Structure 1
Amino acid sequence: MSRRILSEASRAVAGDDSPLQAIDLTPMLDVVFILLIFFIVTASFVKLPGPQVELVAAVSAVAKKPAMLVAIDRHDVIWMDKSPLADNRIKFALARLQAENPRGSLVIQVDKAASIGRLALVSGIAGQLGIDDISVSTRHD
């Protein structure tokens, strides 16, 4: 039997018509070359950031001043500087904070149980004083 397999293999190499024919590798090589060209072309579009550098600290850098912070709790009490404010004192307290930090932004922390009217009151007074950068602090869930 082994003699028969050897003779069939020798006929396949010789080009005879037999069950064991040589496998044509040309299509596979074409695919390999196309993939090689694809990877070479796409690799040239990938930009590496380069070496890591340690940046120098600037001597003339101006630190950003902290924001003015106002809080409204669940009982609609308005807080500034860790103390509650009466409604008639809100404008004076915001004016004082603005004088201390003229370019600072106003951040309002509002409890979810607080009424929207209290938020409108504080933001309205801030708008009257010329505070344009007003943010409402939220929690990201």
Structure 2
Amino acid sequence: MKRKKHTSADDDAQIDMTPMLDIVFIMLIFFIVTTSFVKEKGLEANRPKENQQSTKPSKALSIRISETGEIQMDNRVVDIRRIVANIQSYLAENNTDAAAILAHKNTEHGVVVEVMNQAKEAGIQQVSVLVQ
């Protein structure tokens, strides 16, 4: 009987890669599905509802601040120390809870903040700041 010699071609064994690829794709799907998405931080706007009707008049108090810091309420110049009294007298005559502060872009921020604080102190609930 003759013996066969093993050749190098017979020694080359091949590995089936299909099961390994299946596992990799299953793991990929698992990680995609279980990833927790981070909620982005930011400011949320309080939007009014579509069918919301207000029983209060929507006339807002208008306060203008010029570039030099001069404050005007209802087209008359007001001293910064008398804003609370002027707003309270305005509220006695008008039924509103909103004020719009229109400030020049070069106005000092401290003046605008002081006017906002005094408006809140006088009883204004909603204060809006607008910049020219």
Could you tell me the TM-score, scaled by structure 1's length? 0.50
Query: Which of 113, 124, 129 is 1:120 aligned to?
Result: 113
Distance in 2 (alpha carbons) for counterparts of 1:127 and 1:63:
19
Q: Which has the larger radius of gyration?
A: 1
- After superposition, what is the alpha-carbon deviation per residue over 1:25-64, rounded to whole angstroms, capped at 9, x for unaligned? xxxxxxxxxxxxxxxxxxxxxxxxxxxxxxxxxxxx9673
* Closer, same or farther: CA 130–138 of 1 in aligned 2, 3 Å: same
| Aligned partner letter, 2:77 | P
What is the identity percentage for the equivalent residue pairs of Structure 1 and Structure 2?
24
Which residue number in structure 1 is paired with residue 94 of structure 2?
A: 101
Which residue number in structure 2 is paired with residue 71 of structure 1?
A: 64
Instruction: Report how many aligned residue pairs link the two structures.
Output: 79
Gaps of 5+ in 2: 1-53
Could you tell me the TM-score, scaled by structure 2's length? 0.53
CA root-mean-square deviation? 2.0
Write 1 or 2 for the structure with the bigger share of helix.
1
Q: Which has the higher contact order (CA 8 A, sep 6+)?
A: 2
Is 1:83 aligned to 2:95, yes or no?
no
Gaps of 5+ in 1: 1-60
